Amino acid sequence: MNTHSYGGYFMWPPGAYKAEGREVLPRVDQGTEAYFWTSSDYILSRAQEYRGTAIWPGRTGPVTDVLYSAAGNSADEHWYNRGIIGWDFEVGADIYDPATGRFTAVGFQPPFAEGHEEAMEFANGNIGILEVARAMPPTRVSLGHRWRSSSGSLGLRPSRSARVSRRTCTTRLMAVGRRTARRSWRWRGCARGFRASR
């Protein structure tokens, strides 16, 4: 996770481009993109819980869609080279003033009291990121004997077939939507990660 100031953005890869022709790096597949959107709905709701501020929909999405392409960052490095998901927060979401009926920008260097409030609301968002990460089921493959194929290349044969275990809160979240899940389940930690329970 990458958190910095200021602008009220929530983003994920791709954010970088290839030097030649400034061609944006490949987008994630549709399933992964759907996972990012579903997860971001939950994560941003966690940030909003503290004092009701929200990240605008137009400031949520792949970096190149909502901000601009850049020379790259750690989220791109981890995603493209290691398959690790990285989210970027830009703290400092505009605050709604009910007296004026307008949103007020908080700025790059807010007074201490405002800075503290921003830290607290986005700490909730970071906890949401950790909850989403913990909810992702582990992927493990137990490989058995090595064998050679007819072409002579070395191959591996799995010792048992893969199977899907219990449903996780992530799959439930994707199945019913965050708002329904938040009303009907309590989130709690367990030894095997976070799961939603009735």
Q: Tell me: the pLDDT tens digits for 62-108? A: 988 888 777 667 788 888 888 888 888 888 888 888 999 999 899 88
Q: Given a cut of 50, is residue 187 above it in pLDDT? A: no
- Contact predicate 62/11, CB 8 Å: yes
Contact in structure between 66 and 59 (CB atoms under 8 Å): yes
Q: How confident is the model at residue 40 (pLDDT cuts 50, 70, 90)?
A: very high
Neighbours of 76 (CB within 10 A): 20
Per-residue model confidence (pLDDT) at position 140: 52
Which positions ≥6 away from 29 have C-beta within 8 Å? Answer: none
Question: Which has more pLDDT, 85 or 150?
Answer: 85
Tell me how far apart the alpha carbons of residues 165 and 11 are, in angstroms, rounded to a whole number: 30
Residue 92, pLDDT score:
87
Local confidence band at 1 (pLDDT 50, 70, 90 cut-offs): confident
First to last CA, the chain: 29
Q: Has residue 135 got a pLDDT over 70? A: yes
Residue 104 tokens read as 């007020």
- CA gap 185, 167 in Å, rounded: 14
pTM, two decimals, is 0.66
What residue type is 118 in one-letter code? E
Contact 60, 9 (CB under 8 A): yes
- Residue 26: is its pLDDT beyond 80? yes
| The pLDDT of residue 171 is above 70 | no
Strand partners, 143: 158
CA–CA gap between residue 3 and residue 194 (Å, rounded) = 23
Average pLDDT over residues 142-167: 43
Tokens encoding 40:
């971001």
C-alpha span between 196 and 198 (Å, rounded): 7
The length of the chain in residues reads: 198
At residue 72, the pLDDT reads 66
Per-residue pLDDT, 37: 93
Cβ within 8 Å of residue 134, ≥6 positions away: 189, 193, 194
DSSP-assigned letter for residue 22: G
Percentage of the chain modeled with pLDDT above 90: 23
According to the model, what pLDDT value does residue 77 have?
84
Mean pLDDT for 178-182 is: 41
**pLDDT of amino acid 113:** 94
Query: How does residue 158 score in pLDDT terms, banded at 50, 70 and 90?
Result: very low
Closest to 122 in 3D by CA, of 48, 52, 47, 181: 47
